[in-house]
Amino acid sequence: MEANEPTKAETRTPPSKREQLSLFARNFFKHPKMLGSIIPSSPFLVKRMLGRIDWERARVLVEYGPGTGTFTQEILRQMHPEAVLIVLETNEDFVNYLKRAYPDPRLQIIHGSAEDVQAILAQREIDEADYVIAGIPFSTLPDTIKGNILRATQRAIAPQGAFLLYQFSPNILPHLNQTFSNVKRTFEPLNFLPAHFYYCVP
């Protein structure tokens, strides 16, 4: 091993909270419409959303817009050793951060759009996802892209799976009802900003 080569333990050291918040804040000011909030999601929102996942059954999970990995880290902690997590991120800064921060062999980090989720799964010879988790701000997306993502997501999810989504605005609800057979909504006040949580069955 070279003198300056990081050890396995060093590469798996969790990122510092300061580094995570700094990167998130910088990208919020650069791309406010793509993030929606200046700070990552709260533990309360993470717990509320991920509490709906059947971890023993789930083998393929997909996350849209992981950012600095607030949900990613917790998904990796809870998911089955034989499961895979595919994250789709359009921001190259976040892609590079995730690759360095979470060197888990079950994690596949894709620099790409949620519109292409079906093609991305097909490239990996995966028929369908058990769960898709997302927090991308649909309210700031053009209607065409919004519709493309929702339809592609609905087709990518297994019949017994679900789409787990949080938003800061309730405006997405009519679009969810048009796309998914069953949509349940709850609210998490202990988050900045308070968030609407949607559990959608394909």
SS (H, E, C) 81-118: CCCEEEEEECCHHHHHHHHHHCCCCCEEEEECCHHHHH
Return the pLDDT at 11: 43
> CATH second-level architecture of 16-201?
3-Layer(aba) Sandwich (3.40)
Cα separation, 24 vs 36, in Å, equals 11
Tell me the percentage of the chain whose pLDDT exceeds 90.
Answer: 75
Q: Hey, what are 61's tokens? A: 């999970």
Q: What is the DSSP letter of 68?
A: T
This prediction has a pTM of 0.83
**What is the pLDDT at residue 149?**
98
The single-letter code of the amino acid at 148 is N
Q: Read off the tokens for 52.
A: 């709906």
Q: What's phi and psi for 164, nearest 5 deg?
A: -105, 120
Distances in Å between the alpha carbon of 104 and those of 33, 40, 79, 143?
30, 21, 12, 35
- Domains of the chain, by residue range, sit at 16-201
Cα–Cα dist 192/190, whole Å:
7
Count CB atoms within 10 A of the CB of residue 43.
12
User: pLDDT band at 17, cuts 50/70/90?
Assistant: low
For residue 1, the model assigns a pLDDT of: 42
User: Which parts of the chain fold into alpha helices (H)?
Assistant: 8-11, 17-30, 32-35, 43-50, 70-78, 92-101, 117-123, 143-156, 173-179
- What does the pLDDT read at residue 8? 41
Q: What is the mean pLDDT of the chain?
A: 87
- Check pLDDT > 60 for residue 92: yes
Mean pLDDT along residues 183-194: 93
Q: What is the pLDDT of residues 49-78, one digit of tens each?
A: 999 999 999 999 999 999 999 999 999 999
Collect all residues with Cβ–Cβ distance below 8 Å to 202 and sequence separation of at least 6.
154, 155, 157, 158, 159, 161, 162, 163, 180, 181
Query: Beta-carbon neighbour count of residue 96 at 10 Å?
Result: 14
